[in-house]
Amino acid sequence: MRIVVSGGAGFLGSHICESLLDRGDEVVCLDDWSTSSPENLAHLAGHPGFTVVETDVSERVEVAGPVDAVAHFASPASPPDYHRRPLETLAVGSRGTENMLRLAQRTGARFVLASTSEIYGDPLVHPQTEEYWGNVNSIGPRSVYDEAKRYAEAVTAAYGRTLGTDVGILRIFNTYGPRMRARDGRVISSFVCQALNGDPLTCYGDGLQTRSFCYVDDLVRGIVAMIDSHEPGPVNLGNPGEFTMVELASLVIHLTGSPSTVEFHPLPTDDPTRRRPDITRATERLGWRPFIALEEGLRRTIAYFASRPDEVRAAASALVGGQ
């Protein structure tokens, strides 16, 4: 197939591009480099089926020729990024999604939206099923990301109902692995870099809030399965293993052999207290489930960051431990 991937130079997008190319697809990557890096795609340079187009999909999407599938993954995704770029985050979730949908509609392509577990907000239902509508503060500091994705889901569903576009919605839970940025502020990259530097690991609140962490290779298998299907979703993708931030910090310290301690700071506004996906729908409709345990995924992620000591050291002053 010929597949267009927006945000294809980002942490997750670059893994998607790689997986699709490996199986023989042609890939057109769209990216504006705002929260991504050409380094993520360096190993794909020169691949005959790979094209990179520098563009802001919130402004325009121009792809010539036939398109079989459109995967919309462009968006800031970590709290520091979307707090730093609030208007851009809202734009890519709204105008950017509409522009990518128009491309899919125009070419008769399958459209897959990367939505997020953040649409559940600070959930009152646990674990979270796709039937749950969420508990989101629409004017809070996290709302620029949460509501951008909620709108993206709404317009995607409307294209499917009104125009017959072949659409699918994925709700992606916390994902980690190689090619995360050391300074992106996500909890695993922050904890790993802090531990490798011997700095205190930054926990918020009492550290008993939970997250569920899916290794990137597992997640990409689910994304590709969604691209290949006609499932409308929404479908949760994530690892249902649930860990407190204190448990995660202790495991990172153990695996790195670091002398680091854990520091506690006030809990950010609207920070979810519990987060765990119900993946029954993904298992039944996509034949997908994760296999890589947190300890094994962390070992691989730690090895990646340990191989980049300059980047890890440079990140020391910027890490905020976003969770």
pLDDT tens, residue order, the chain (323 aa) = 999 999 999 999 999 999 999 999 999 999 999 999 999 999 999 999 999 999 999 999 999 999 999 999 999 998 899 999 999 999 999 999 999 999 999 999 999 999 999 999 999 999 999 999 999 999 998 999 999 999 999 999 999 999 999 999 999 999 999 999 999 999 999 999 999 999 999 999 999 999 999 999 999 999 999 999 999 999 999 999 999 999 999 999 999 999 999 999 998 887 888 999 999 999 999 999 999 999 999 999 999 999 999 999 998 866 544 44
pTM: 0.95
Between CA 74 and CA 158 the distance in angstroms is: 20
Cβ neighbors of 317 (< 8 A, separation 6 or more) are none
Fold annotation for 2-174+213-237: Rossmann fold (3.40.50)
Catalytic residue among 145, 176, 204, 215: 145
Q: Cα 279–281–284 angle (5° rounding)?
A: 110
Q: What is the DSSP string of 66-100?
A: --SEEEE--S--SHHHHHHSHHHHHHIIIIIHHHH
Structure tokens at 39: 């380094």
Confirm if 274 and 211 have CB atoms less than 8 A apart: no
The CB density around residue 300, as the number of other CB atoms within 10 Å, is 15
Question: Active site includes 120?
Answer: no
User: What does R_g of the chain's alpha carbons equal in angstroms?
Assistant: 19
- Secondary structure letter of residue 284 according to DSSP: H
The residue extents of the domains of the chain are 2-174+213-237, 179-212+240-276+291-314
Phi-psi region of 257 (alpha: psi -120 to 50; beta: other; left: phi over 0): left
Q: Does this chain's domain 2-174+213-237 share its CATH topology with 179-212+240-276+291-314?
A: no
Asked: is 179-212+240-276+291-314 a CATH 3.90.25.10 domain? The reply is yes
